[in-house]
Amino acid sequence: MDDGLVKAVNGVSYIMAEGETLGVVGESGCGKSVHALSIMRLIPEPPGDIESGEILLEGRDILRLSRDAMRKVRGAEIAMVFQDPMTSLNPVYTVGYQIMEALKIHKNMDDKAARERAGELLSLVGIPSAGQRLDDYPHQFSGGMRQRAMIAMALSCEPKLLIADEPTTALDVTIQAQIVDLVIRLQENLGMAVMWITHDLGIVAELAEKINVMYAGYIIERGYTKDIFKRTRHPYTIGLLGSLPRLDEAPGTKLLAIPGLPPDLIALPNGCPFAARCVYKEEQCLEAMPPLNPTDERDHFVACWLWRKIAEGSQNA
């Protein structure tokens, strides 16, 4: 039974430069993954639909490309690493076959050249005895190795943009750190742009030059990482940062929690979607959605009617 129209992503707009790293953060259900799948044009239609807008890749609107033309872009120019490599890798094909397939389609390589390059890619992402592991199936790889294989597959055609959708969520902390270091190293070597989607602000603090903070399908704050952390302007971002454990805090300091729940995306409120949970809210917050306006810092934008008042309060605290 249809409950209604879910507006998963609303008015999201930003620019990524060549070689840049962008962090996209927010709690589960805020639209991070749907927005990335929209870029890849992997939203199932129906029931999903991109109602309006444009996605420009070096001047081309990829929303206007035919399905066949988009297949040539997907993997070759924009690649994506998904959250769960066990469900993203096909269990009935070897890891080598799945990497070679992309090389043969997009690079027109024959079997010998594709196999040789696949071995090089597995070695590049740190898998030992890479040439011998090409004939292994996904279940024969550990979780960290499967994620590395997914990264190798995504990098096989040297894309201009790599979208990493929470690629370290299911991994332990040590493997997470190795994957983050790997992506940083590969980006430096290949010069690609990277979009890192996560709910973990600690990771993007290390990785990203800029951050988009999403809530209820909107970008509610965006800017340079240092400004987002040091001159936070949106109450939701303040709450996210307050929920992070800090090494410089006194023992026994309690973490902050954001009260309440995110709004129902089928029936979004008229005003700011965060207003019901916001300790700073005033009447205007309940009446109209604030636009994403510039703050006093360069390239720092916030969707909040009260950001100046909040900024003055943080300076006087």
Q: pLDDT tens track of the chain, all 317 residues?
A: 466 778 888 889 999 998 999 999 988 888 898 999 999 999 887 788 888 889 999 899 999 999 999 988 988 899 998 877 677 889 999 999 999 998 998 889 999 999 999 999 898 888 888 889 999 999 999 888 888 888 888 888 888 999 998 887 767 788 778 878 888 888 888 888 999 998 888 888 888 999 999 999 999 999 999 999 999 999 999 998 887 776 666 676 777 788 888 888 888 888 999 999 999 999 999 999 999 999 988 899 999 999 998 888 765 44
Q: What angle do CA 11, 163, 53 make, to 5 degrees?
A: 25
Q: What is the pTM of this model?
A: 0.88
CA quadruple 261, 304, 236, 177: dihedral sign:
positive
Amino acid at 200: D
Six-digit token string for 199: 């709910």
Say how many Å lie between the first and final Cα of the chain, rounded.
Answer: 51
Six-digit token string for 248: 């410089």
Q: Is the preceding omega at residue 46 within 30 degrees of 0, hence cis?
A: yes
